[in-house]
Structures are given as C-alpha cells and as structure tokens.
Structure 1
Amino acid sequence: MRRAVAQTILITTLLSLSWDGFSTAKLALAQSAAQYRESGIAYRDQGQMTEAIAALQKAVELEPDYIPGYVNLGWTLHLAGQDREAADVLQTAIQRDPFHVQTFNAIGIIYLVNNDLAGAVLAHNWAKFLKPDNEIAHYNLSLAYQRVGEFDWAIEAATQAAALEPENPHPLVALAIAHWDEGDQATAQHVYQQAIDLDSRYADSGFLDYLNEAGFSPDQIEKSKQVLRSLS
C-alpha cells in the first residue's frame, strides 16, 4: 500500500515537473520569437529588408501559432517587392486562422496592387464581414470596384471608408474618381475639393503619383489628375 502511494506521488511529481518544463520552454520560445519580431520590424523601419525578412521568418518558425507573425512577415515581403512569397505566407496564415482580419486586409492589398481584382474583392469583402467598420477593406473595395466598372458599389465603399477615416484624403480621391466615371462631374469636383481641404498637396498634380503607394492603379492616378485639372 505504501509502495503504491509512493509510486503515485513520484509519478505525479514527475508529470508536474515535465509540464512545468514544457511551459517554461514554450514561454522562452515565445519571448525569443517576440524579440525576433521586434528586430525584424526595426530592420524594416530602417530599410534593411533582407535582415527584416530573416528575423521575421525566424519569429514565425519559433511561434508558428501566432498569426500576427505571419502578417508581419507577409507585409514585409510585400514592401520588399516579393508579392508572390508574401501571398504564400499569408495563405498559410489563413489556413491556420480564417478569421484574422489583418491577414485578409494584407492579402487583399497584395491582390489589388497586382491587379487580381477578383481576389481583392473576395479578401476585402470577407475582412469587411469580419469587421464591418474596417476602413481598409471599404477603401480597397472602392478601388477594386472602380476598376471593374461597378461605380455604384465603388461610391458606396468609398463613402463608408471616408466616414470611418475622415482625416484621410485617400477615400475622398477614390470617391471622386468613382463619381467622375459615373458621369457626375460636379460631385466628383466637390469631393475632390474636400481632399484638398484636408491636405493641400492634393492640389499638386505631381504629388498624385504617390497614390500608387495607396493602391491606385496608373489609370486611377491619371483619372485623379483629370478631376484635379477640371477644378482649374
């Protein structure tokens, strides 16, 4: 009887030590992964993209269940011009968690700038479903819908984006070109003037080339310049 009790105590103690050791190891890996993420983001901020990607890849390897780690890596790959690799990383994140809004925001942008409009619309609509006040999804949907000629939908999406982010001129410019393409030049001009009121740089045609960094296609940038010229 005493031997059985002693064996039970010994087994319980060993299991407890084993679990404590596992928990400690897991915590150490998580802390190490966080350090790699911090380093990766710091490298990215300094423009050292090769080092940033390597650090963020290591963070994902150390903590593969942490979905924001994939988003950090995928977005950094996108900024480095490696969109195919970025999409692959984000698809892996989606397989692990199909309800993570930031993943769909990121992959939707990558689809949009690579002119995969069907992919962009699907990704951003799902992101909008998951988070209805998701200004990123509404904004990028407006650009995608404008490109495929769905101007009413583009206007609705841009209007939502502008309401959710009233200090950002980008949704207003997107809204202006959607109204312009629909044939409502007066409203397009009025809305574009609102963008200028927020940021006077939007009165400079040369500055509008920067809109490629905000998801605008070359045609959409030229359309924005056309609306601006009409104000003169």
Structure 2
Amino acid sequence: MRLAVAGSLYLWAAYLGACAPTEARQSLLATLALSPTVMESLAYPEFLIDAGGAAAYRQQGITARQQDDLVGAIAALKTAVALDPTHVPSYVLLGWTQHLAGDRETAIVTLNQGLVRDPEHVPGLNALGIAYLVKGDLAAAIATHTQAKTLKADNEIAYYNLSLAYQRLPDVAAAIAHAEQATQLEPYNPHPWVALALAHWNDQNTAAAVANYRQALQLDGRYSEAYHLEHLLRAGFSAEQIQQVEEIRTQL
C-alpha cells in the first residue's frame, strides 16, 4: 500500500508537470518534494513499528553481549532494528557489537545508517569514530570525533581517540593537547594517561612519558605487567602503539 501511495504521487506529479509550463512545473515539483522524514514514514508507516518488541530485543542483545555471546547479541539487535528502524540507539548498539565481533565494515555501515536518521547523535559518532580508528582510516576517525567533540564539549571519548589518531599521523602537538584534555575530563580512567604518555614518548620527552604512565599505573597496577597491555587493542591502540607503550613501561 505504501508503495502505491508513493507511486501515485509520482505519477500525478508527472502528469500535471507534463501539462504545465516550465516555471509552473518546477514550482509544482518543489511543492510536492517530500522531506526525508515523510519519505521514511511512507516507506515504513508508524503502524508497522513495534517499539515494545524492539526494546525487549535490545535488552536481550545487551544481556547476550554481557555474556560474551556476540553472535546471539547481534541477532537480537538486528531484530530490534527491524522492529523499530527509527530508534537510533538500536543502530549504535548493533554497530558497536559488530565492531566488537571484528566485523568492522558492517559496523561502519550500521552506524552510518543510524546517523542518517540523527547526524548529531553523539554516542553514534563516538562509536563510528572508534570503528574508523581501529580500521586505520585516520582521516575519517578525526573528522567523526571532531564532530562529536564539537557537539559535546566534555566528550572524553572523542578527545582520547583523537589523541590516538593524531599520534599515528603523526601530529604530536595535537596528540598531546587532546590527551591532556581527556585526562582532565576523566582523570580516573587510565587510558587517557597512557595515551598522553605515548604522545610525550613520540615527542622524545621520556620524563613526561614515564610520569604520565605512572599516573595510569596508580589507577591500575596491572600496567606494570607486559601482558596487560594487550587489552589496549580493544581501547583503540594499534599494535605499533602498544609496542611503544611497552617501551615506556620498561623505563619504570
């Protein structure tokens, strides 16, 4: 039925437009132009949306992810999106879970689908920026996280990941500045301190690198052990950056 409605509008516009002068035809088409929101409502009317069912599947997906069942989580979250395709957080949950499962390209597609519906959804931008960063698309990561920090000035996630991205360019000054801001916004999280230590290390400032690494060590004593650094892969660090962090650790 919704296709018939859209098709009827198109045929009607075409018929009337063919019989009208050029200026009138352009005016008519402008009048009939539908906003993206209206187009989506025609393609997926409200009576087909099951918000309650979508919420139940979202919770099921979250629970499965907490139990490290990423396959089950993705299946449940896909259902949540299908039941309510207007709910942007569902896309973020699904995209982030796909990212955790290592399906980076699909995660990026999913997150962008959500951001089409709300381009200023900060959690979605944060997740997308991380996916780009881990993929190695530094330009896209920087652009996405810059948008996220512009929308939310106290966005520690954006500053932290921008530091990692700038360090890889490399743009050491920008890496230091963004890591410093991240440590101010979330001083009890060791990750920004490690990022700041790494940025100073790349600036050939061993003393500052070690001092900031010790800040991370005070928050989490496991940073004294080499094995613990492997988890930094899931925190946005590249393998090369982790090797550099290990070099800092050996200076303690």
CA drift at 1:222: 0.8
Instruction: Say what the alpha-carbon RMSD is for the aligned residues.
Output: 1.5
Name which of 130, 136, 139 aligns with 2:151. Answer: 130
In the alignment, does 2:180 pair up with 1:159?
yes
CA drift at 1:170: 0.7
What's the % identity of the aligned pairs?
50
CA drift at 1:154: 0.4
Name which of 64, 89, 114 aligns with 1:93. Answer: 114
TM-score (norm. length: structure 1): 0.86
Name which of 240, 246, 249 aligns with 1:225. Answer: 246
- In 1, Cα distance between the equivalents of 2:121 and 2:86? 12
Alignment match, 1:11: none
Alignment match, 2:7: none
How many residues align? The count is: 208
- In 2, Cα distance between the equivalents of 1:197 and 1:44? 30
TM-score (norm. length: structure 2): 0.79
In the alignment, does 2:228 pair up with 1:207?
yes
In the alignment, does 2:161 pair up with 1:140?
yes
Alignment match, 2:189: 168
In the alignment, does 2:89 pair up with 1:68?
yes
CA drift at 1:230: 1.4
CA drift at 1:206: 2.1
In the alignment, does 2:39 pair up with 1:32?
no
- In 2, Cα distance between the equivalents of 1:154 and 1:131? 19
CA drift at 1:48: 2.0
Q: Structure 2: 5+ residue runs without aligned partners?
A: 1-44
CA drift at 1:40: 1.1
Q: What amino acid does structure 1 have at the position aligned with 2:206?
A: Q
CA drift at 1:93: 1.0
- In 2, Cα distance between the equivalents of 1:72 and 1:209? 24
In the alignment, does 2:65 pair up with 1:49?
no
Q: What amino acid does structure 2 have at the position aligned with 1:133?
A: D
CA drift at 1:47: 2.0
CA drift at 1:50: 2.1
- Alignment deviations for residues 101-154 of structure 1 (CA, whole Å, 9 cap, x no partner): 011100100011111111110110000001010000000000000001101100
Q: What amino acid does structure 1 have at the position aligned with 2:193?
A: L
In the alignment, does 2:108 pair up with 1:83?
no
Q: What amino acid does structure 2 have at the position aligned with 1:74?
A: G
- In 2, Cα distance between the equivalents of 1:172 and 1:85? 31
Alignment match, 1:19: none
In the alignment, does 2:214 pair up with 1:188?
no
Alignment match, 2:129: 108
- Alignment deviations for residues 145-202 of structure 1 (CA, whole Å, 9 cap, x no partner): 0001101100010011111111111111110111111111111111111111111111
SS in 2 for 1:230: coil
CA drift at 1:96: 1.1
- In 2, Cα distance between the equivalents of 1:65 and 1:213? 29
- In 2, Cα distance between the equivalents of 1:187 and 1:40? 43
Q: Structure 1: 5+ residue runs without aligned partners?
A: 1-21
- Alignment deviations for residues 60-100 of structure 1 (CA, whole Å, 9 cap, x no partner): 11111110010011011111111111111111111111110
Alignment match, 1:149: 170
- In 1, Cα distance between the equivalents of 2:113 and 2:124? 10
